[in-house]
Amino acid sequence: MNVLILGGTTESSALARALAGDGRFRATLSLAGRTRRPLPQPLPCRVGGFGGVEGLASYLAEHRVEALIDATHPFAAQMSRHAAQAARQTGTRLLAVVRPAWCPQPGDRWTAVPSMVAAAEALGRVGRRVLLTVGQQDLAPFAAAPWHSYVVRSVDPPSPHTLPPGAEVITARGPFAEPDERRLLAERRVEVLVTKNSGGEATRPKLDAARALGLPVVMVARPDPPPGVERVATAAQALAWLVHQHGAAPRGG
Ligand code: NAP
């Protein structure tokens, strides 16, 4: 069965490892190309956009993709929307792998906001020391609030023109450990953390560290997923779905 995985997440890498040695599937992993040095993958990879819904639909048809797995980041809303539309147009089976969102625990001081602009507004008019872990594509609203002092952490260094003035940059790739996160928050004198509700274990320790230190968190809520798409939470569940589809698919043509 020909499978295309839209990836860039822990879940897509886990599914790629599971499919790599499985003779039932011929899988390709697609990456947006957002990170300069993506982790090595055990499957053939293609990198870069498809050219919108039409481009993805053409790719699915040309490569005779029989199952499309949308294992993109929960904030990659455009790609997920395109996947739903292209799958519908071409009659390709589609499954989304979406890790559960983080939920506040006792002791958490979260302010939930619907967007990155709202997150910048929630920081207020009085200058604060802010740790931004929102990804390098989403810094513009904070550059527009330059009275805060920012520490920006991302996998690759953001382009200088997107950074808030005077921002300190830390480049690091998870997973992170709670004691290190606590040390970072204390050493950098962070007063408030801003993060997307990405979910998952790799970057959750910053929330544990903020709770331990009594620090507030501005939590950006996820965009709505496209309606009507079947969803699972883990790579193992996605593999089970694929095995089921493989068993059900007409073969031999
Ligand atoms: P997006 O806004 O949904 O996608 C923008 C375009 O990028 C898509 O329309 C598509 O281009 C291309 N694209 C996205 N994912 C692709 C994939 N797997 N393979 C091929 N092309 C892909 O998604 P995004 O720009 O990647 O990111 C959106 C948000 O998610 C950002 O806030 C980003 O920081 C966050 N994100 C976080 C992580 C993480 O691991 N922390 C990873 C990814 C994204 P075409 O229309 O040309 O096909």
Q: Which residues pair with 204 in a beta bridge?
A: none
Q: Is the peptide bond before 175 cis (omega within 30 degrees of 0)?
A: yes
Q: Residue 91 is encoded by which pair of tokens? A: 């009659």
Q: Which of 79, 133, 220 to mutate to test the pocket of ligand 1 (most atoms within 8 A of CB)?
A: 79
Q: Which of 4, 69, 72 to mutate to test the pocket of ligand 1 (most atoms within 8 A of CB)?
A: 72
The dihedral region occupied by 190, where left means phi > 0, alpha psi between -120 and 50, and beta the remainder, is beta
pLDDT tens across 188-212, in order?
999 999 999 999 999 999 999 999 9
pLDDT tens across 92-140, in order?
999 999 999 999 999 999 999 999 999 999 999 999 999 999 999 999 9
Ligand 1, residue 75: give the atom nearest the CA: 30
Q: How far is the CA of 188 from the centre of ligand 1 (A)?
A: 30
72 Cβ below 6 A of ligand 1: yes
Do residues 119 and 220 touch, judged by C-beta distance below 8 A?
Answer: yes
Do residues 194 and 150 touch, judged by C-beta distance below 8 A?
Answer: no
Average pLDDT over residues 65-69: 98
CA gap 111, 124 in Å, rounded: 12
How far out from the chain centre does Cα 241 lie?
Answer: 21
158 Cβ below 6 A of ligand 1: no
State the pLDDT at residue 251: 62
CA gap 50, 219 in Å, rounded: 31
Residue 253 in this model has a pLDDT that exceeds 50: no
pLDDT tens across 211-234, in order?
999 999 999 999 999 999 999 999
pLDDT tens across 165-192, in order?
999 999 999 999 999 999 999 999 999 9
pLDDT tens across 10-58, in order?
999 999 999 998 999 999 999 999 888 888 889 999 999 999 999 999 9
